[in-house]
């Protein structure tokens, strides 16, 4: 894919930007944060229509420029270590802790390169192999005799899956898998994660059991204790071959005690990767089922492609990553789901220097948010952007170019788990389509912020297919 040319100018601290530059349109309003949190889609769509794809707001305080044009997104994603830094509030950084990928720009590259092997190549293939038995077990327990709540079911599957892939704990065996650890039931582990997650978004940043933030910090401490005990437990068994994220880090540490993998880094990475992934992936699966439930013709196409590429008798348990590649229409349905229902915006960047782009000045000190909700709704990038049309992502139509399609962000902070998320979705869908058809029960209500997801009480009706087949 061709990368657009860079066409912005960065001003050093001593340089004053030329006077003829204009600022992005729109006067920030004090109500912006509330309006954005209440409905980020509506906020972005409304301002896109009124001001175009780049506009000023006061979201999260100060001046925050929302950007949705490919040029401005490219400028935003390319600034790390030169003219941008991560611009999250101090309390959010406190929840991440000093061993996150966001906290130390000087160590970001080194830490990310060290953990990346766990999310690519052979390890990614191993993770995918782990999905089949667990997924079969979950799907077998889905009850087609009555309407089922979609979100809790998928959250449960994805939690079991990621705890296995990242921490090596087989939660499907029941609470016995947590024996000897300070959190001894799956229900409690999930609850602590929910409390930790909510803590990031508490409005009152006061460390007290009375506040969401305070409870989040306590959950963080409990989860870190859990990870620490897990590391001690894991050291008592052989680490090779490393088939989960934790054992990969421990094996690296054993091989090279001077590597970045201190115990602190390992326990925090275990905490944070699961935090970063389990809601996002379950949202992708539930949004896919919801979107495709409205387009039975697309489901037929996915099934037809599955038969054409993999054959009628394909045993999914033996499916490899290579075999997933030619399933282009399946891939397109996942991308179209992420285009219309991106779970989140990207991380806020703060400009450390002023930048001019196409005659518009972005001032040092301002925050910038690259918003998929704007980029994905631009007619010039996506024809009839409100329509669900997976074909747009097929190579012949070629929509979804770099900096125009950004559900996983971009630049040096681009999502580490994008490949894992997409592969998981593909395998999930292939198994699902073999076993079930489903009917939606009306329109779903969504929680809008911090992640856009279908509310937990939304139900669908499953129908078990006569025989387990993709036809």
As given in the structure block, the two tokens for residue 450 are 């911090």
Q: Is 68 in the site for ligand HEM (CB under 6 A)?
A: no
383 near ligand HEM, judged by CB under 6 A: no
**Residue 238, helix vs strand vs coil:** coil
3-state secondary structure of 449: coil
DSSP 164: I
**Based on CB atoms, which residue is closest to ligand HEM, 273 or 434?**
273
**Site for ligand HEM contains 81 (CB under 6 A):** no
SS3 of residue 29 by DSSP: coil
Q: Which of residues 409-438 bind ligand HEM (CB under 6 A)?
A: 409-411, 413-417, 420-421
**Does the annotation flag 470 for ligand binding?**
no
Q: In 3-state terms, what secondary structure has residue 443?
A: coil
What SS3 class is residue 182? coil
Segment contacting ligand HEM by CB under 6 A, of 21-29, 33-41, 183-191, 344-352: 344-352
Does position 333 interact with ligand HEM (CB under 6 A)? The reply is: no
CB of 112 to ligand HEM, least distance (A): 5
User: Given the complex with ligand HEM, which of 82 and 143 has the nearer CB atom?
Assistant: 82
Query: Which residues sit opposite 360 in a β-bridge?
Result: 22, 357
C-beta of 281 vs 298, nearer to ligand HEM: 281
Whose Cβ is closer to ligand HEM: residue 310's or residue 429's?
Answer: 429
Asked if 38 interacts with ligand HEM (CB under 6 A), we say no
Tell me which stretch binds ligand HEM (CB under 6 A): 62-70, 152-160, 274-282, 356-364: 274-282
Rounded Cα distance, 194 and 92, in Å: 16
Instruction: Answer whether 123's CB lies under 8 Å from 416's CB.
Output: no
Other CB atoms within a 10 A radius of the CB of residue 365 amount to 12
Buried b (16+ CB within 10 A) or exposed e, 419-435: bbbbbbbbbbbbbbbbb
**3-state DSSP call for residue 65?**
strand
Q: Are strands 84-86 and 148-149 parallel, antiparallel or unpaired?
A: unpaired
276 binds ligand HEM (CB under 6 A): yes
| Residue 93 is a binding residue for ligand HEM (CB under 6 A) | no
- Interface segment toward ligand HEM; rule CB under 6 A; list 209-217, 315-323, 324-332, 342-350: 342-350
Binding residue positions = 415
Residues that bind ligand HEM (CB under 6 A): 101-102, 112, 273, 276-277, 280-281, 284, 343-344, 346-347, 407-411, 413-417, 420-421
């Amino acid at each position: 894919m061709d990368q657009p040319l860079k066409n912005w100018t960065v001003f050093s601290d001593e340089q004053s930007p030329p006077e003829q530059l204009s600022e992005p349109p729109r006067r920030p309003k004090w109500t912006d944060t509330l309006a954005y949190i209440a409905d980020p889609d509506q906020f972005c769509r409304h301002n896109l229509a009124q001001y175009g794809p780049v506009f000023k707001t006061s979201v999260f305080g100060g001046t925050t420029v929302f950007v949705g044009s490919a040029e401005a997104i490219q400028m935003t994603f390319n600034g790390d270590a030169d003219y941008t830094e991560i611009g999250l509030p101090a309390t959010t950084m406190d929840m991440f802790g000093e061993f996150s990928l966001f906290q130390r720009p000087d160590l970001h590259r080194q830490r990310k390169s060290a953990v990346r092997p766990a999310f690519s190549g052979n390890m990614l293939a191993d993770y995918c192999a782990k999905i089949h038995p667990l997924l079969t077990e979950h799907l077998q327990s889905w009850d087609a005799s009555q309407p089922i709540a979609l979100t809790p079911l998928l959250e449960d599957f994805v939690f079991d899956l990621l705890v296995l892939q990242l921490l090596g704990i087989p939660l499907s065996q029941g609470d016995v898998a947590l024996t000897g650890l300070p959190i001894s039931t799956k229900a409690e582990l999930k609850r602590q994660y929910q409390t930790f997650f909510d803590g990031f978004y508490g409005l009152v940043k006061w460390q007290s059991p009375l506040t969401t933030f305070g409870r989040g910090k306590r959950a963080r401490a409990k989860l870190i204790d859990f990870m620490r005990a897990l590391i001690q437990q894991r050291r008592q068994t052989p680490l090779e071959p490393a088939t989960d994220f934790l054992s990969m880090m421990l094996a690296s540490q054993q091989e090279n005690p001077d590597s970045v993998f201190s115990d602190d880094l390992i326990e925090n990475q275990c905490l944070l990767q699961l935090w970063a992934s389990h809601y996002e992936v379950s949202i992708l699966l539930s949004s896919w089922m919801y979107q495709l439930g409205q387009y039975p013709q697309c489901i037929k196409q996915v099934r037809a492609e599955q038969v054409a590429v993999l054959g009628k008798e394909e045993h999914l348990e033996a499916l490899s990553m290579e075999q997933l590649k030619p399933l282009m229409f399946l891939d397109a349905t996942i991308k179209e789901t992420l285009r219309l229902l991106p779970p989140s915006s990207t991380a806020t960047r703060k400009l450390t220097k002023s930048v001019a782009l196409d005659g518009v000045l972005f001032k040092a000190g301002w925050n910038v948010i690259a918003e998929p909700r704007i980029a994905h709704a631009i007619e010039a990038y996506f024809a009839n952007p409100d329509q669900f049309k997976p074909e747009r992502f097929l190579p012949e139509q070629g929509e979804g170019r770099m900096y125009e399609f950004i559900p996983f962000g971009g630049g040096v902070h681009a999502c580490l788990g994008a490949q894992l998320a997409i592969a998981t979705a593909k395998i999930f869908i292939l198994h699902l389509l073999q076993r079930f058809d489903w009917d939606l029960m009306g329109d779903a209500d969504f929680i809008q912020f911090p992640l856009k997801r279908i509310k937990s009480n939304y139900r669908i009706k499953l129908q078990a297919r006569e025989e387990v087949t993709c036809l």
